[in-house]
Amino acid sequence: MNQKKAVVLLSGGIDSATAAAIAIDRGFELSALVFLYGQKHRVEIEAAKRLIAFFKIKSHALIEIPTGIFSSALTDASRGVPRDREPGGDIPDTYVPARNILFLSYALAFAESSGAVSIFIGATAVDYSGYPDCRPEFFRAFQEMADLGTKAGTSGKGIRIETPLISLSKAGIIRAGTRLGVDYSLTHSCYDPGPDGTACGSCDSCRIRKKGFLEAGVADPTRYRSS
Amino acid sequence: MNQKKAVVLLSGGIDSATAAAIAIDRGFELSALVFLYGQKHRVEIEAAKRLIAFFKIKSHALIEIPTGIFSSALTDASRGVPRDREPGGDIPDTYVPARNILFLSYALAFAESSGAVSIFIGATAVDYSGYPDCRPEFFRAFQEMADLGTKAGTSGKGIRIETPLISLSKAGIIRAGTRLGVDYSLTHSCYDPGPDGTACGSCDSCRIRKKGFLEAGVADPTRYRSS
């Protein structure tokens, strides 16, 4: 019997690495989509490539979103990445308009075209930046829309959007991935890394990552430039 | 007061040209997104460019979807474009997986990034090829998903997906556009044009177009190679 196929959205961070490990553990043959969208932390692409090698993913594509589609503190040179922000409150300036919607749509098109039955995305709604496109109700709505808008969906064999981390804390994600043998030294999280790839330690993404390793009781392999 | 902004998906065909004319008539300042996605009828891109000039749309982008994302009779050299097909029945082989989902997602990201309040798409569910992503229930689900997944949506100022042609026949669309002064000689519909851009006259898209002009009582400006 052929191995069932899935598409994973791979950013190079902890969450997508863990989602990939879970998909592999569940027996899927993976294709990975990696996106270059003008992010200042494009060093994460190198992390995604390391993870593709680590997981031995044969089918992978780097997709470039043209400059000017997104406007965000993560992409615009004129806007700084917020630091030392307390969690909660408003949607932060690092929000990238419709990013998960666009990435999932690519995954859906590719999945239906290539016969994959599931899409794995490492979104979490626990230790996260408050982005609307990381919430369970968004993923439910995306699933419904995908089922109505694709041939696979209307034939009752809709492509499943899988969010295995949605209810896990960052520590829970790190523990789950560690059990599955994920090498987190290959991952990158910082929104505003130094030229040598070291992490700033104070953006939302660094703060959430640090706290996650601490709470998980797992040694943090990140190279921080402020420590 | 600043003119309100909208994004239009412009393919170069009759429907998107008419949708653009309706948006302009409603007072919107338009940005146009045009997609190169491996379609055999890439000559439609030239039609889209002619329409951008015709409508004097200053903000426009050509977005390239990488080869291999879509698999369809419209994109794959190994699959022929069906001819002389009777309308109705199964979703035809020209279905492109999640195409409108991906195009609308691009429009949504760009709209939210650029402050546009609406997206115009020239989909119709009357004289059409039976694609699932052209049906009203799909657009309703996309709207709901977009409202949940964007900052604009969660703040109650969600970007509106406008489908002004959804209940119009092809003849009705041509009549509406003719009233608004659309020059349909600039548009292209054929899925399988000759090297000189002439239309085949027998693919789904040509058949629907021909019938539309006939029923609308408007002279058909198309150059058919079989006539």
Q: What is the pTM of this model?
A: 0.94
What is residue B1's predicted lDDT score, i.e. its pLDDT? 56
Chain B closest-CA separation from residue A67 CA (Å): 10
What is residue A5's predicted lDDT score, i.e. its pLDDT? 98
The ranges assigned to domains in chain B are 5-216
Give the confidence band of A88 by pLDDT, cuts at 50, 70, 90: low
Dump pLDDT digits (tens) for A34-44.
999 988 888 99
**Interface membership of A63 toward B (CB under 8 Å):** yes
Cα–Cα distance between B20 and A84 in angstroms, integer?
Answer: 45
What is residue A85's predicted lDDT score, i.e. its pLDDT? 76
What is residue A151's predicted lDDT score, i.e. its pLDDT? 95
B167-189: b (≥16 Cβ within 10 Å) or e: ebbbbbbbbbbbeeebebebbbb
What is residue A198's predicted lDDT score, i.e. its pLDDT? 93
Three-point CA angle A126, A132, A136, nearest 5°: 55
Dump pLDDT digits (tens) for A115-155.
999 999 999 988 777 899 999 999 999 999 999 999 999 99
What is residue B206's predicted lDDT score, i.e. its pLDDT? 93
Residue B184 backbone phi and psi in degrees, to 5: -70, -10
- Least Cα distance to A47 among A27, A62, A31 occurs for A62
What is residue B181's predicted lDDT score, i.e. its pLDDT? 98
Considering only alpha carbons, which residue of chain A is nearest residue B37? Answer: A109
Tokens describing residue B204: 């789904």
Q: Kindly state the DSSP code that residue B29 receives in the 8-state scheme.
A: E
> In A, which residues are within 8 Å of B97 by CB distance?
108-109, 112-113, 150-152
Cα–Cα distance between A165 and A143 in angstroms, integer?
Answer: 17
Is the per-residue pLDDT at A89 higher than 80?
Answer: no
Amino acid (one-letter) located at B106: Y
Is the per-residue pLDDT at A227 higher than 70?
Answer: no
Higher pLDDT, A105 or B73: A105
ipTM above 0.90, yes or no: yes
CB pairs under 8 A between A and B: 144
Task: Decide: A94 and A83 in contact? Cβ < 8 Å.
Answer: no
Contact assignment for A101 to B105 by CB distance below 8 Å: yes
**Which of A69, A78, A134, A147 best tests the B interface by mutation, with the highest count of B CBs <10 A?**
A69
**Interface membership of B106 toward A (CB under 8 Å):** yes
| Average pLDDT over every residue of A71-78 | 88
What is residue A87's predicted lDDT score, i.e. its pLDDT? 66
pLDDT beneath 50: ranges in chain B = 227
Cα–Cα distance between B28 and B23 in angstroms, integer?
Answer: 6
Task: Decide: A9 and A103 in contact? Cβ < 8 Å.
Answer: yes
Contact assignment for A154 to B91 by CB distance below 8 Å: yes
Q: How many CB atoms lie within 10 A of CB A178?
A: 17
Chain B closest-CA separation from residue A227 CA (Å): 34
| Average pLDDT over every residue of A74-101 | 85
Dump pLDDT digits (tens) for A155-187.
999 999 999 999 999 999 999 999 999 999 999
Per CATH, which fold does A5-216 belong to?
A: Rossmann fold (3.40.50)
Give the confidence band of A92 by pLDDT, cuts at 50, 70, 90: confident
